[in-house]
Amino acid sequence: MALIVQKFGGTSVGTVERIEQVAEKVKKFHEAGNELVIVLSAMSGETNRLIDLAKQISEQPVPRELDVMVSTGEQVTIALLAMALIKRGVPAVSYTGNQVRILTDSAHNKARILQIDDQKIRTDLKAGRVVVVAGFQGVDEQGNITTLGRGGSDTTGVALAAALKADECQIYTDVDGVYTTDPRVVPQARRLDKITFEEMLEMASLGSKVLQIRSVEFAGKYNVPLRVLHSFQEGPGTLITIDEEESMEQPIISGIAFNRDEAKLTIRGVPDTPGVAFKILGPISAANIEVDMIVQNVAHDNTTDFTFTVHRNDYQNAQQVLEQTAREINAREVSGDLKIAKVSIVGVGMRSHAGVASRMFEALAKESINIQMISTSEIKVSVVIEEKYLELAVRALHTAFELDAPARQGE
Amino acid sequence: MALIVQKFGGTSVGTVERIEQVAEKVKKFHEAGNELVIVLSAMSGETNRLIDLAKQISEQPVPRELDVMVSTGEQVTIALLAMALIKRGVPAVSYTGNQVRILTDSAHNKARILQIDDQKIRTDLKAGRVVVVAGFQGVDEQGNITTLGRGGSDTTGVALAAALKADECQIYTDVDGVYTTDPRVVPQARRLDKITFEEMLEMASLGSKVLQIRSVEFAGKYNVPLRVLHSFQEGPGTLITIDEEESMEQPIISGIAFNRDEAKLTIRGVPDTPGVAFKILGPISAANIEVDMIVQNVAHDNTTDFTFTVHRNDYQNAQQVLEQTAREINAREVSGDLKIAKVSIVGVGMRSHAGVASRMFEALAKESINIQMISTSEIKVSVVIEEKYLELAVRALHTAFELDAPARQGE
């Protein structure tokens, strides 16, 4: 018997039929003797419908009141699932964030969970009831309704699992696990049985949008075993956990992440004086533009070149800011490129393996793919390349690091 | 400066445009220096949409969970109105039933208000804020969400007005007040400036569906001046209050109510023994059928005839029960009639006026309308007549009791 927190997202509860399917699934787990806490999102589309309604009143709806509205989405699904469970003879009860009491700070629309009162839930679990909790929402010290921001239901699931010291937090989605890379790009991509929190964070932030980043951070911090599974297909999914095995067999890299959301900006011929990086990036940050990769090379003739990437949506804005800066600091020129892609290899195994980066560069060189920027961290190496080579690069790296799935029997 | 509770129903907040109109209205009252508490229903149709959704899961949805769902309807409108007020520069804050804390018993779907915590609201009013409260809902001692049943938002309004000792509770509707009778039947019907709680109760329960009966009882009990007004037309409406004036001019009757929802059942030749009324009505009540008028005449040859009315929807069911009873108690026969109507004259003035009933019967006799049943209370006289004479009877009585509006200038 285990205590399991299961989270189902918006598409998994998008229709009454789907809610009935979820109820069937939960019933099986309950009959197998597990203690269950189910966390739900709103029906897919409902949160957007509510936000649209609010925007008809005001382009910038008051955050406190927006939370009062959008939190109703999950309130509907928890009641529906509780009804569907009770109909099947499974004792169940639903709770809003306020009823559980999921205490958050008062940052409306992007609140952070401070504390969870587990008393009610424990009483219900002891009494054999399945507890259905509204994801994404909480309540602040003053009793105001708060929401955690997009994808916050994952965070609710992990936070509940941490508070209850659950054996596992299962996140049900529309994919059957975390893959070595996007199967649409590399048909040989494999589902990973296991991945560490750190690797998942790098994979997630680099564009494998299976889990909300905050929930992975949370799970790592409290060491909550997290499992990604498909809502309506059987399978073991992918377990995200701490790296406790020191297996000889551990692969050097776990996966390949990529994204095409970024654009590159370069300012050339910058007089190489102390504080120049701040002079360049200060105004960018002041314009509320987030910067991802930053590369500055050693100076030449007392000038240096400085390159960074921003989200493509911020490209024009960033370019204008940068040109202004260039005039002020007497830089030679500003150039930019929208047609870039970032490809990263991720794996805790690379910590103990030299030569991972060079193996990556070799694989790309073999395909004559030019590397424009390089950035490294302890468990990842990222490169920026021309966008048109993205798929080729990902496939080459997938093979070079021996991630390809063995051909199945009969194939 | 006055403290006013204003309640707006589902059609008054049925669209974003309407909510903006309500905000404009509230703004004017606020600028005039009033302290305002606004009680809202869900957008028209929303409660039914939610109930339909629940019924897709289960024909008999679990009452606790149904309350969790349907209470979201008002939660959306209060947030939208608060946003619309703040957009207009009017400080405002929304509260759910739980947030106010409107404490109810645990009778889900038809809970009764036990107590209202007025602390938060008083603080907000002192700070100059308009307080927007979700109608129809509360929370029980254990923190479960409850609803008050259909029309419960009126009750919320009155209960808040009582708790806050408000100067007036204004109920905004799609009519501009309470009329002497239905203007669709009698074009000369007049809007009443004033009516007593007792009269309103009789008018409401007899079919003038302007206000929910429970809210009128509540207002009477706590002596909350209640005013019915049109949401989007200017006008004084009708004030419902206690009968504190002993005006000489007080009209004998205030209005004429009627309904065609009832059917009549008669059991003839019942052996006239003690307890016979219970023998007849016990099984009807056991079948969950409500009985309205009951008439038993003096016995003849040791047998008596017994007649009562039920809702038309219950007619067939009641007839079957009654025929079973007739066999058991050896009654002669059972007969029934669906084509009846009930017409009532209502007025506190009749207490001090003899001959009101005979004046009524005279007016009906003049039109050759036969009276089938008669029932009286302190402030009303009801008769059952053939349905086809309904409009004729109402018009005749309206004229006989001098309720017709004086012809307007130019008419």
- CB nearest B80 (choices: A54, A78, A79): A54
Sequence-distant (≥ 6) Cβ neighbours of residue A371 within 8 angstroms: A361, A364, A383, A384, A385
> What are the 10-residue block averages of pLDDT along chain A, 411 residues in total?
94 95 97 97 94 95 96 98 98 98 95 95 97 97 92 92 96 90 90 90 70 86 94 93 64 88 92 83 89 80 88 94 94 94 90 82 92 86 93 95 70 37
Q: Across the interface, do A83 and B53 touch by the CB < 8 Å criterion?
A: no
- CB nearest B57 (choices: A61, A80, A98): A80
Do A334 and A319 form a contact (C-beta atoms < 8 A)? yes
In angstroms, the Cα distances linking A63 to B11, B99, B112, B115, B123 are 26, 17, 32, 30, 21
In angstroms, the Cα distances linking A391 to A64, A203, A263, A340, B150 are 44, 17, 18, 12, 60
pLDDT for position B411:
37
Residue entry with tokens 């149709």: B45
Do A173 and A210 form a contact (C-beta atoms < 8 A)? yes
Higher pLDDT, A274 or B220: B220
Share of chain B above pLDDT 90, in %: 68
Q: What is the pLDDT of residues B132-148, one digit of tens each?
A: 999 999 999 999 999 99
| Neighboring chain A residues of B60 at a CB cutoff of 8 Å | none
> d(Cα A136, Cα A40) in Å, to the nearest integer?
8
A358-367, B89-98, B291-300: which range is least confident on average? B291-300
Residue B48's pLDDT band (cuts 50, 70, 90): very high
The backbone torsions φ and ψ at residue B114, rounded to the nearest 5 degrees and listed phi first, read -100, -35
Chain A nearest-CA residue for B18? A57
| Neighboring chain B residues of A82 at a CB cutoff of 8 Å | 62, 65, 68
> d(Cα A256, Cα B1) in Å, to the nearest integer?
69
Provide the terminal-to-terminal Cα distance of chain A, rounded to the nearest Å: 40
Higher pLDDT, A218 or B8: B8
The angle at the Cα of A207, spanning A109 to A377, to the nearest 5 degrees, equals 105
Nearest to residue A51, comparing CAs of A65, A34, A35, A31?
A65
pLDDT for position A351:
76
Residue of A15, A68, A136 best to disrupt the B interface, most CBs of B under 10 A: A68
> d(Cα B350, Cα B345) in Å, to the nearest integer?
9
For residue B409, pLDDT beyond 60: no
- CB nearest B68 (choices: A58, A69, A78): A78
Nearest to residue B158, comparing CAs of B67, B78, B219?
B219
- The minimum CA-CA distance between A100 and chain B, rounded to whole Å, is 10
Residue entry with tokens 């929802």: B261
Q: Across the interface, do B98 and A98 touch by the CB < 8 Å criterion?
A: yes
Residue A4, burial from CB neighbour count under 10 angstroms (0-12, 13-18, 19+): buried
Sequence-distant (≥ 6) Cβ neighbours of residue B408 within 8 angstroms: none
- The minimum CA-CA distance between B65 and chain A, rounded to whole Å, is 5
H helix intervals, B92-226: 97-100, 119-126, 152-164, 197-205, 213-221
Q: What is the pLDDT of residues B51-65, one digit of tens each?
A: 999 999 999 999 999
Q: Across the interface, do A96 and B20 touch by the CB < 8 Å criterion?
A: no
pLDDT for position B242:
84
- CB nearest A79 (choices: B69, B82, B83): B69
The 3 state secondary structure assigned to A40-103 is ECCCCCHHHHHHHHHHHHCCCCCHHHHHHHHCHHHHHHHHHHHHHHHHCCCCEEEECHHHHCEE
* Distance, CA of A206 to chain centre: 9
Query: Which residues on neighbouring strands pair with residue B385, listed in sequence order?
Result: B341
Residue of B65, B132, B139, B147 best to disrupt the A interface, most CBs of A under 10 A: B65
pLDDT for position B294:
86
> d(Cα A267, Cα B34) in Å, to the nearest integer?
61
Higher pLDDT, B383 or B277: B383
Nearest to residue B24, comparing CAs of B76, B71, B87, B66?
B87
Q: Across the interface, do A65 and B99 touch by the CB < 8 Å criterion?
A: no
A98-112, B100-114, B364-378: which range is least confident on average? B364-378
pTM for this entry: 0.82
Q: B275-286: buried (b, 16+ CB within 10 Å) or exposed (e) per residue?
A: ebeebbbebbee
A231-235, B26-30, B120-124: which range is least confident on average? A231-235
Query: Which residues on neighbouring strands pair with residue A336, listed in sequence order?
Result: A265
> d(Cα A203, Cα A169) in Å, to the nearest integer?
19
Residue B182, burial from CB neighbour count under 10 angstroms (0-12, 13-18, 19+): middle
The angle at the Cα of A155, spanning A133 to A175, to the nearest 5 degrees, equals 95
What three-state secondary structure class fits B4? strand
Nearest to residue B84, comparing CAs of A75, A111, A53?
A53
Q: Across the interface, do B80 and A99 touch by the CB < 8 Å criterion?
A: no
- The minimum CA-CA distance between B129 and chain A, rounded to whole Å, is 14
- The minimum CA-CA distance between B122 and chain A, rounded to whole Å, is 15
Higher pLDDT, B224 or A272: B224
Higher pLDDT, B379 or A102: A102
- CB nearest A65 (choices: B58, B79, B98): B79
Annotated ligand binding at B342? The verdict is: no
Q: Across the interface, do A76 and B72 touch by the CB < 8 Å criterion?
A: yes
Do A262 and A205 form a contact (C-beta atoms < 8 A)? no
Do A312 and A241 form a contact (C-beta atoms < 8 A)? no
Torsion over CA: B349, B351, B352, B353 (sign): positive
- CB nearest B83 (choices: A61, A98, A145): A61
> d(Cα B102, Cα B114) in Å, to the nearest integer?
8
pLDDT for position A206:
61
pLDDT for position A64:
97
Residue of A21, A27, A50, A57 best to disrupt the B interface, most CBs of B under 10 A: A57
Q: Across the interface, do A57 and B83 touch by the CB < 8 Å criterion?
A: yes
> d(Cα B383, Cα B309) in Å, to the nearest integer?
12
